[in-house]
Amino acid sequence: MKSCLKNKLQTGVQYMMILNAMKFFLKSWVFIFLLLTGCGDRKKSKQVPLIFEASIIRITDGDTYHIVYNGEKKTVRLAHIDCAEILQPYGEAAKSFAATLCLGKKVVVRTTGKTDRYKRIVGEIILINGINLNKELIRNGLAWHFKQYSDDLEYAVLELAARKQHIGIWTQENPVAPWVWRHK
């Protein structure tokens, strides 16, 4: 009888250990799921959707825009392109061109779902009339296709067309790409 009770007790202890291990395992997976999906994280809830409407409140340069979305200020870095820096030839022209199209206006931002190393939202800005600002900057010779971060063929074709038309930055004999200029 004593050995039977001892066996049952050992089985019960083993059962409790297995049950506790399973509870711990389940809690760990729930925690990981919540961490990865952002559930329960209040800061995460302030992130933007992939497509949203916003107002342009400031333009830093041709490819960096300050917006207001749901009452919060955010920064957007235009995807697929790189405009000349402000002190570069055509840097101010790119900023002015963009300002005439969208500064102080409502736009639609279509994000890649990513942010850059400066925590800027990476995406395309679509004007209310449907014009894609990113593509307009390239089409008008005010930006390079940023091939390091984009393999979108439409942007490559737009850059080639602007080069052939010798407009904007392509009127210069040897235009210096902004990613090269930044490292001078």
Catalytic annotation present for 85 = yes
**Closest C-alpha to 133, from 163, 155, 157, 160:** 155
Catalytic-role residue among 53, 120, 124, 154: 120
Which amino acid does the sequence have at 179? W
Catalytic annotation present for 110 = no
Q: How far is CA 23 from CA 35, 50, 65, 75, in A?
A: 18, 36, 48, 43
Catalytic annotation present for 159 = no
What single string gives the DSSP state of each residue in 3-53? HHHHHHHHHHHHHHHHHHHHHHHHHHHHHHHHHHH-TT-TTGGGS--SEEE
Integer Cα distance of 145 and 138 in angstroms: 7
Catalytic-role residue among 42, 53, 72, 77: 77
Catalytic-role residue among 42, 53, 72, 85: 85
Please report how many Cα atoms fall inside a 13 Å half-sphere around the Cα of residue 134, on the Cβ side: 24
Catalytic residues: 77, 85, 120
